[in-house]
Chain A
Amino acid sequence: MPRAAIIGTGALPVGKYQTGPEAADQVVEHELLATLVAQALADSGADKKDIAALIMAQPRPYTRQQYFSTFMAAYLQLPCDAMVMEVLGNGLTAALAFDKAVDEILLGRAQVALAMGINMETAISARDHMMESMRKTGDVDFHTPAGFTPISWYAMDAMRYMHEYGVSRAELASVAVKNRRHASENPLAQFRKPITLEEVLAQRPIVEPLGLYEVPPRGDGAACVVVASEDYAKALGKPYILVRNRSFHHEGVHQIADKRSDMIGLNAAHKAAAQIYQNSGLSAADMDLAELYAPCTIVEVLASEATGLCPDGQGAHQAVAGETSLGGRIPIATSGGLTSRGHPSYATPLYNVVELADQLRHRAGARQVRNARLGLMMNELGNYNAAMLHILEAVQ
């Protein structure tokens, strides 16, 4: 069976690109994305004619151009023998694009496949954006009428975690400080100015106990990852990243079960992590670094525990102690994570791939994890109760 490798990446610094209707010069998604795709291909050294699949994260509903994947295949003049498609799966959307591109390689249908995504939303106000996003979490007839927002579920995780483990809000907030320090060295990050714990705690509340710096900023972004068969990658004669293992679990629960259960164990993440360690013969202790999909500080803490990188109930304490910082025992979110690198949601998981690809090719500059060989990536849905993991391995 073929194995899949990451051979090239391209990403736009996360920021605000979307234009409102008043702008004389409009910014359109396909122009931004096409440039990145060309950069990613140049980074890979692959030949355009060898690309046989284009897997696209479905853009936000604000993107005017529809049927975006086939439109892009035309915009890029890219005939494909394998698959051209858009995927959608909540926060997993861009992770699915990557995972389905890997599928095309593993199925032997493509020697080279592109995974890409663009998320443009910042010209839409948060209060209007939430009119749509509130319909995505929970039950639209039994939860949404109470006014739940996506991050309100994470806030409830934080309250419960603090209650069960006696952890303070300041300890959770230290994750935001740590990740901003990481972001200060990442040219792709939306927010790079270091912040103090006092500044984090002084921000206005958004969903208690979380304030402005502990929840995801709104951002636009786009990224492209070039995936190839390992044979193709080897033939290029450059370092590449092997997609060593992957796993997925959905709990059969959306937000809450209908009976008493543990919400802060991230059960889906826990099960998917157990599965990937079993299948790979590796353990959490073998990982050199991790990129976790964590829109809020609390989510990084819960995800670090569910993946076994930190013991249960110790995720926040270990973040405070520097164990999850650059230079620490297991650096988490060297990119700056979703609170500082930014969270263009339908592209975010591809940014996680980009960060691990940079780290595992030893080109992460001042935020390089020394001798990084194995990277854990988890993209998950918190209390939407699904998790997808990948173990990526540097091959020199």
Chain B
Amino acid sequence: MTISRFALGQPMAYPPRITAFTRPFWDGLRNGIFQSTQCEACHHISFPPKPICPHCWHEKTRWVALPVTGEIYSWTIIHAGPAAFSAELPYAVGVIDLDNDVRLACRLHPTAPNQKWACGMAVTMQAGLADNGVMLVATPR
């Protein structure tokens, strides 16, 4: 399933580093592909993607598509943040369980002013594109 993309509209305040290994993940988001690594031996899916399986330490993993839908496990709105993020305050972040039970944590992207968030709320993953990076976000479904 493809992940929808939108223009972040501003540079990322603290962009991630891209490695030769994680480049397929970040380039994938730019191209509408949401993926991570799966162990070729025990089939454990990791997030973030890893060059070895963290579960069985097998050294071969392959890229597999992730579902773009899931639900909020928990969330908060940050009102006091680091200097780099001052201009974005307040902003919401959350822990997301994807439909295949993979867990990740990301920015929550509102679709309305005074957006309400809740544990258990259905969300869709999206990729916010900026010149200096890609921000993975979850938005209400």
Contact = CB atoms under 8 A, between A and B. Distances in A.
A204 B90 CA distance: 12
A258 B45 contact: yes
Contacts of A258: 45-48, 54, 102-104
Interface in A111-147: 125-128, 130-131, 133-134, 138-147
B64 interface: no
Interface string B103-141: 111110000000000111000000000000101110000
A248 interface: no
Contacts of B83: 125, 127-128, 130-131
> On chain A, which size bracket covers the interface?
35 or more
A156 B94 contact: yes
Given A152-B93, A255-B105, A258-B103, A127 B86 contact: yes
A147 B81 CA distance: 7
Given A127-B86, A160-B73, A163-B119, A146 B105 contact: yes
A49 interface: no
Interface in B1-15: 12-15
Nearest to B133: A145
The residue in B81, B82, B101 that gathers the most chain A C-beta atoms within 10 A of its C-beta is B82
Given A156-B94, A260-B97, A147 B85 contact: yes
Given A130-B82, A163-B120, A259 B102 contact: yes
B56 interface: no
Nearest to A160: B74
A76 interface: no
A80 B107 CA distance: 50
A54 to B, nearest CB: 34
The residue in B54, B80, B103, B119 that gathers the most chain A C-beta atoms within 10 A of its C-beta is B80
A368 B118 CA distance: 42
A185 to B, nearest CB: 30
Interface string B45-59: 111100000100000
Contacts of B90: 205
Contact of B101 (A145, A149, A156, A259): A259
A282 interface: no
A81 interface: no
B48 A142 contact: yes
Contact of B105 (A138, A159, A204): A138
Contacts of B102: 258-259
A144 B14 contact: yes
Contact of B88 (A147, A149, A260): A147
A208 interface: yes
Contact of A149 (B47, B82, B137): B82
A46 to B, nearest CB: 44
B14 A156 contact: no
A263 B72 CA distance: 13
Nearest to B15: A145
Interface string B29-69: 00000000000000001111000001000000000000000
Given A145-B15, A157-B74, A163-B119, A256 B103 contact: yes
Interface in A179-226: 204-209
Contacts of B135: 145-146
Contacts of A294: none
B76 A126 contact: no
A209 B76 CA distance: 7
Going nearest first, the 5 A-B pairs with the smallest beta carbon separation are A155-B76, A130-B82, A141-B16, A156-B74, A163-B119
Interface of A: 125-128, 130-131, 133-134, 138-149, 152, 155-160, 163, 204-209, 255-261, 263
